[in-house]
Structure 1
């Protein structure tokens, strides 16, 4: 594993609480389990502080968290940074008027939604999630942010799977906004 933007002490703390689970959810996959990190108050607090600092650095006015672990990481970071939180949910999970964005999966399509009035002109939305893999959900969320009339402040993830094409997929949709991974594996 290598460091992204996290300093060495934070990186070591985070890495010591992320466990590899071989062959989950299917043979050949090495799952990165962040639940031990979430269960440790010191590690989770340090991660929350780091994410809140990035919210401030990029001038975010709202944090957008991707279902479901982006909720766990993004909501406390938003509170710590003094910002509002906007959940991006799977289609059909939000009440009221929504904006939806379809995107391609390896085999098929999926759709995510936000409330139609959650973001607007003058908002700078920072997307927070746990892992950047192929980038499909993050790319769709960036499109939703722009369709809602807001500006993309950037994307921040705890961990980037550097051997997958997520960063390249997001580059055109970021439009120059930053993409930061605290850890790259």
Structure 2
């Protein structure tokens, strides 16, 4: 499809996030032998898709809407992005809801294997891989920068979130959401 046809199909909006600025054609990678593999994306989405910027998980919450697109290429790209963000609880929930026909799932998975190699992995003090939603225990008293809070050794942090940094996780301690270095926690559940 040419850009004009994509603009008509999408109503002059990014097919992933709905933004209307800096629109351009994006060809879904790893689409050998497929027909319609182009989608219309904004500059912000393109920068993250092409690796110029890290994935901003807050930006990609838009996939909750775009994953239901009737356009197969949009569905495949939404699946791939949700797979890369599956460390986030909300993304895993959306991925669990997204149904793709067998041929579309194979197409989506063909590009996901490359993305898996880029995946950031957080590990606790014992080298155990951490996942979003895990419960961890703090193994050392930690001063929380910018506050008077001290996260005490032995404090359980439930429902952690992962970050783009392999050395950091996020969790709620004493009612406040903080960033914690993963080397100072131990996975407990």
TM over 0.5: no
Give TM-score scaled by structure 2 length.
0.28
Give TM-score scaled by structure 1 length.
0.29
**Higher Cα Rg: structure 1 or 2?**
2
